[in-house]
Structure 1
Amino acid sequence: MNIMRKHLNIVGTVVTVVLSACFAALIIGLSFTKVQPDPFSATDEPVTKVKLSAASGVDIAKPIIDISGWQLPSDMDYDTISQQITGVIVRVQHGISMKKKNNAAYMNGKDKAMATHIKEFQKRNIPVAVYAYVNGNSVAEMKKEADKFYERAAKYKPVYWWLDVEEVTMKKDFNKGIEAFRAELAKKGAKNIGIYTQDWFVTANNLTVTSFDSVWLAHYGGDTGYWDSSPDTTIPYDLHQYTSRGRLNGFSGDLDFNRVTSVADYNKIFNKGKLLK
């Protein structure tokens, strides 16, 4: 639509010049203050940014990141990153064997960066949870993966243990295999065991998630780097992975961003169920 412009008279011209000068001064003043975009501003739904009291020192509007050997420790400024997050979930393994070599994991499945990531964030008082990509093709192999997961991570005393379930790796009784992994991990001594998956994957494969202490759902919406959509599901979940394109100062690449929707969920996952004080 074209908008007709009115011609200015002399008085109008003077007023316009004065207003333009004031506006220019305002712009110059604002240029000295860099305003960062709010990473939690939604594009298609209202988002309430919740901040806890200063006494708790935790702002649950800050993202929780999950990382692996694909994020090289040499590329990460742990000091800077730690100031921008409230928790981290570190991959421990991709199964117990790899078919092909890659830069992120050894041939025995162990993540190459897990120890460094865990230690560096724990040194900075960031609560650390861990996850394992579930890759067993039988109940027996699922139990072996659980044993290795525990063996590799237990000494770091993670706040939560997650099974990353993204593909059906057993031809039949996949639910039985997942439950065998969870049960074996609990038998070894792991507390607080959750499952990471997607709502459509649960439905399509008739997965049972009720035996887990928590559910972590991936739902990206437009995968814009911001929270712009939430899972439309009846599955109760405590953690939401909302983008794979998050950006933080201290790391030049993309990161997975996650969010909790309440203080109670944060306490459950990252504060060992205790209330923040």
Structure 2
Amino acid sequence: MNLTFKKIAGLLMGAMAAFTISTNVSASKTKIADVSQYQGNINWSKASKDLKFAIIRVQHGDTGDADFRIDTKKDINANGAYKYKVPFGQYGYAEFSSVADAKKEAKDFYKRSSSKTRFYVLDNEHRKGKGSEQSYVNAWLSTMRKLTNKPIVYYSYQSYVHTYKINYSKFDGSWIANYSQKPDVSTDLWQYTSKGRLSGITGNVDLSKIVDSKTVNSWLKQSSADQAKPTYFTSVPSSKQVTTTRNIYQYNDVNFKSRVSKLAAGKKLTVKAVSKSDHGAYRFELSNGNYITANKAYVSN
């Protein structure tokens, strides 16, 4: 074998090896896991080698529920997934007991979620109210539609859907759990086990399989526009009070050129007038003379 041939053969073998490694790495990213604080400290560097995408818990119930808790790993997991380029959605375990409670829970869930999430999930498996469960689901969804343009997915168990006759057709897709066999209700993503294994996690983890790839892939598309088209308060509420629903800033000018300070979500404020910026955005003028947004996605009356 002459030297030139040896060099060519070596280059070809190297290229083939690199292609094989690349293909195997790509092929290994097939698992879909939902995770929470119960998975402990996830090694996202290792998990990223297995994951096509992840679904991360944000909260369990909401303020007022006896077992309410914000997932202690929600930010760590979101940041870890993002750092290692794992696309992710986020879910909130619902315990709403009325239409008003469902609306509040949606707003709080949105506020607590990461801006980097690709989609949002309603985890609806806990019946608590005495009214129509469907009306609670509808109220949650309609509230989220006002807050985001990202996909919104319905999750539950097959048995729960049957028992309460939930219609989730207005969601952007469904994720249904049934561990014995493929769900007999409409589903795009099937949670098939709670005893899966994943690199980077010690112990069991829920795993899911794609049923409708076109729909599920649409959840993962990156969007530069999370916010829906803004809707504004155009007049001062009769109470002259508004409450921030997300962290915002107050400014000393209507065009928001000079920032004064940060206002935490849940802050009650007294307003005295509504003004418009040079670009046509409505602002509330506060009793202290500063300005905040009048965007309904950030403040409520």
What's the TM-score, normalizing by structure 1? 0.67
- Structure-2 separation of matches of 1:263 and 1:253: 28
Q: Identify the residue that residue 99 of structure 1 maps to in structure 2.
A: 66
- Structure-1 separation of matches of 2:28 and 2:169: 26
Say yes or no: does 1:80 pair with 2:43: no
Residue ranges of structure 2 left out of the alignment (5+ in a row): 1-21, 224-301
In structure 2, the residue corresponding to 1:149 is in which secondary structure?
helix
Q: Identify the residue that residue 188 of structure 2 maps to in structure 1.
A: 238
Instruction: Say which of 97, 104, 111 aligns to 1:144.
Output: 104
Q: Identify the residue that residue 189 of structure 1 maps to in structure 2.
A: 148
- Structure-2 separation of matches of 1:212 and 1:166: 16
Flag the 1:79–1:61 CA change in 2: closer, same or farther, 3 A.
closer
Say yes or no: does 1:252 pair with 2:252: no
Deviation at 1:236, TM superposition (A): 2.5
1:58-73 counterparts in 2 under 5 A? 59=27, 62-73=30-41
Residue ranges of structure 1 left out of the alignment (5+ in a row): 1-53, 101-106, 222-228
Q: Identify the residue that residue 126 of structure 1 maps to in structure 2.
A: 86
In structure 1, the residue corresponding to 2:109 is in which secondary structure?
helix
Deviation at 1:263, TM superposition (A): 3.8
- Structure-1 separation of matches of 2:163 and 2:94: 18
- Structure-2 separation of matches of 1:134 and 1:114: 16
The answer to whether the Cα contact below 8 Å between 2:188 and 2:213 also exists between their aligned partners in 1 is: no
The answer to whether the Cα contact below 8 Å between 2:182 and 2:192 also exists between their aligned partners in 1 is: yes
The answer to whether the Cα contact below 8 Å between 2:82 and 2:116 also exists between their aligned partners in 1 is: no
Flag the 1:266–1:212 CA change in 2: closer, same or farther, 3 A.
closer
- Structure-2 separation of matches of 1:237 and 1:163: 14
Deviation at 1:271, TM superposition (A): 3.0
In structure 1, the residue corresponding to 2:202 is in which secondary structure?
strand
The answer to whether the Cα contact below 8 Å between 1:58 and 1:86 also exists between their aligned partners in 2 is: no
- Structure-1 separation of matches of 2:158 and 2:198: 28
The answer to whether the Cα contact below 8 Å between 2:28 and 2:49 also exists between their aligned partners in 1 is: no
Q: Identify the residue that residue 179 of structure 1 maps to in structure 2.
A: 138
In structure 1, the residue corresponding to 2:192 is in which secondary structure?
strand
In structure 2, the residue corresponding to 1:88 is in which secondary structure?
strand
In structure 2, the residue corresponding to 1:183 is in which secondary structure?
helix
What's the TM-score, normalizing by structure 2? 0.62
Residues 220-240 of structure 1 deviation map (CA, whole Å, 9 limit, x = unaligned)? 11xxxxxxx322x2x331101
Q: Which has the higher contact order (CA 8 A, sep 6+)?
A: 1
The answer to whether the Cα contact below 8 Å between 1:92 and 1:110 also exists between their aligned partners in 2 is: yes
Partner AA of 2:100 in structure 1 = A
The answer to whether the Cα contact below 8 Å between 2:28 and 2:50 also exists between their aligned partners in 1 is: no
The answer to whether the Cα contact below 8 Å between 1:65 and 1:255 also exists between their aligned partners in 2 is: yes
Deviation at 1:200, TM superposition (A): 2.3
The structure whose residues are more often strand, as a share, is 2
The count of aligned residue pairs is: 200
Residues 205-255 of structure 1 deviation map (CA, whole Å, 9 limit, x = unaligned)? 12111111111010111xxxxxxx322x2x331101010000123222100
Flag the 1:210–1:173 CA change in 2: closer, same or farther, 3 A.
same
- Structure-1 separation of matches of 2:117 and 2:127: 27
The answer to whether the Cα contact below 8 Å between 1:87 and 1:127 also exists between their aligned partners in 2 is: yes
The answer to whether the Cα contact below 8 Å between 1:67 and 1:89 also exists between their aligned partners in 2 is: yes
Instruction: Say which of 76, 84, 97 aligns to 1:116.
Output: 76
- Structure-1 separation of matches of 2:119 and 2:27: 19
The answer to whether the Cα contact below 8 Å between 1:136 and 1:169 also exists between their aligned partners in 2 is: yes
Instruction: Say which of 56, 75, 79 aligns to 1:90.
Output: 56
